Amino acid sequence: MTAAVCEQIAADALRRTIVELSSPGSWQGIARGLAWRLVSAGERDPRSIELVAENAEKALGSFIEDALWTLEQTVIHSYHGFLELRPGDRAGALAAARLEAEEESVPLVASACERALQAIRGTSDRAA
């Protein structure tokens, strides 16, 4: 499996998870939702929503990149692990890698969201 195929499988799995979480939005929409959580909970002044949202987008973007790298490693290990059990079955190995990427993307995106929320809490505390 090439690095490009591995990255594509991981990116597709993350994209599907993000779409499911933000339907019909985007990861930027998720970031804005995190900012709104702080504002609506009274942790931030509603007039600061744009600044908080910008910080959330930066943080979440970074954590999604981390999740992509982690997921790529999962894809590689799954693919090669399958081939160890069934040598030559590349189609099966790709299917197994895709399935594992789909399963692992959900907790990775959830973790990225939580880490971003904690990061914007800290950033906003310093800005406030």
Q: What is the pTM of this model?
A: 0.77
Backbone angles phi, psi at 45, to 5 degrees: -70, 130
pLDDT at 79: 94
pLDDT at 30: 83
pLDDT at 128: 46
Tell me the three-class secondary structure of 26-88, residue by residue. CHHHHHHHHHHHHHHCCCCCHHHHHHHHHHHHHHHHHHHHHHHHHHHHHHHHHHHHHHHHCCC
The region that residue 75 occupies, defined by phi over 0 for left and psi between -120 and 50 for alpha, beta otherwise, is alpha
pLDDT tens, the chain, 128 aa long: 888 888 888 888 888 887 777 665 677 888 888 888 888 888 788 888 888 889 889 999 899 999 999 999 999 999 999 999 999 999 999 999 999 999 999 899 899 989 999 998 886 444 44
Boundaries of every domain in the chain:
3-127
Instruction: Determine the residue type at 12.
Output: D
pLDDT at 24: 56
Q: What is the CA radius of gyration of the chain?
A: 18
Residues 6+ apart with CB under 8 A from 70: 104, 108
How many whole angstroms separate alpha carbon 89 and alpha carbon 125? 53
How many whole angstroms separate alpha carbon 98 and alpha carbon 114? 25
Burial call 100-123: b when 16+ CB within 10 Å, e when fewer:
bbbebbeebbeebbebbbebbbeb
Report yes or no: 87 and 113 within 8 Å, Cβ to Cβ.
no
pLDDT at 72: 92
